[in-house]
Amino acid sequence: MNYRHVFHAGNFADVFKHVVLSLLLKSLHRKDTPFCYLDTHAGAGRYDLTSEAAQKTGEYRDGIQRLWDSEPLSDVADYLAAVHAINASGRLHYYPGSPAIARFFLRPQDRMVLLELQADECMALQAGFAGDRQVVVQRQDGYAGLKAYLPPMEKRGLVLLDPPYESNREFEQIVAGLRVAHDRWASGIYAIWYPIKDRPPVERFHRALTATGIRKMLLAEFCPFPEDSGFRLNGCGMVVINPPWKLEETLRRLLPELLDALRQHPAARTALSWLVPE
């Protein structure tokens, strides 16, 4: 396991993923009853954009930096508020990982469980949330966590699956993990991020998801680059199972605007469709 998210923190893929995550978390505020957020591959929690690693790739400059510097888009206001919350100086210094984004949306009655397998990343995560009674951090395999933590006692909430895709088996592991999770907790919201490099593995993934028999899967894709190279991250997607009311409508409006802010090529594109309807 070599993956270090700091090299990619705040890039276009993070922005897309965390904008969708913010919309999902915000939708859980519609009811006062508590919710639980489970992050199966949590990372370090937040990232220093001035660090050597982040500066080496500079990926954040075509991601969060562009949004930070531009006119705010109305549907990303909550997401940007979460980014501002960890940059109290008013300068873009840190980028919040999914745990810090989610923490921003927790109300006093809500809680979250963060799983991370890599020792260093997990130590950073533990340090970041030390003493926070609404947060549990465990050094644990995220897929095993789907068995251990679902269904949550709150009976409402969200699971984010955001693995590193270092191995070709990751797509299979996700599908297997989702089968287990959905059997245990069919009404939860599940958000799964995936990379788009080569199209064939993505198409196989979509077919395998459909074959699970799980209903209500919304598919959003965000590709700032054309799909003419299998070696570059051309774009990425999110599958949302049990998407909340109005998410589709919001994404239909928001994704083209976000793409205009982050596009890298005239052939950039977004897509939104139901992989499996209700």
H or E element, residue 160: strand 157-161
44, two tokens = 């370090």
Helices (H) and strands (E) in the chain, counts: 10, 10
Active site residue: 120, 162, 198, 228, which one? 162
In the list 67, 162, 174, 270, the residue contacting ligand SAM (rule: CB under 6 A) is 162
* Cα–Cα distance for residue pair 199/76, rounded to 1 Å: 28
Name the residue type at position 155. K
* Cα–Cα distance for residue pair 3/162, rounded to 1 Å: 12
Q: Answer yes or no whether residue 3 interacts with ligand SAM by CB under 6 A.
A: yes
Q: Answer yes or no whether residue 115 interacts with ligand SAM by CB under 6 A.
A: yes
Dihedral sign for Cα atoms in the order 253, 258, 261, 267:
negative
Question: Residue-wise over 100-112: b if at least 16 C-beta within 10 A, else e?
Answer: bbbbbbbeeebbb
* Cα–Cα distance for residue pair 97/101, rounded to 1 Å: 6
Which DSSP category does 222 fall into? E
Helices (H), ranges, 70-130:
77-85, 98-105, 119-128
Closest separation between CB of residue 121 and ligand SAM, Å? 5
260 classed as catalytic: no
Q: Answer yes or no whether residue 103 interacts with ligand SAM by CB under 6 A.
A: no
Closest separation between CB of residue 48 and ligand SAM, Å? 13
Q: Answer yes or no whether residue 235 interacts with ligand SAM by CB under 6 A.
A: no
In the list 12, 49, 114, 121, the residue contacting ligand SAM (rule: CB under 6 A) is 121
Residue numbers 170-199 binding ligand SAM by CB under 6 A = none
Q: Which lies closer to ligand SAM via its Cβ, residue 24 or residue 115?
A: 115
> Residues 87, 100: contact at Cβ < 8 Å?
no
In the list 142, 152, 188, 224, the residue contacting ligand SAM (rule: CB under 6 A) is 142
By CB under 6 A, which span of 36-44, 51-59, 81-89, 229-237 interacts with ligand SAM?
A: 36-44
Closest separation between CB of residue 197 and ligand SAM, Å? 15
Q: Which residue is nearest to ligand SAM (CB)?
A: 97
For 89, the 3-state DSSP assignment is coil
In the list 151, 164, 226, 256, the residue contacting ligand SAM (rule: CB under 6 A) is 164
Q: Give me the residue label for tokens 């533990």.
A: 126
Closest separation between CB of residue 278 and ligand SAM, Å? 28
Q: Which lies closer to ligand SAM via its Cβ, residue 100 or residue 254?
A: 100
By annotation, the residues acting in catalysis are: 162
The residues that touch ligand SAM, with contacts defined as CB under 6 A, are 1, 3, 5, 17, 41-43, 97-98, 115-118, 121, 141-142, 162-164
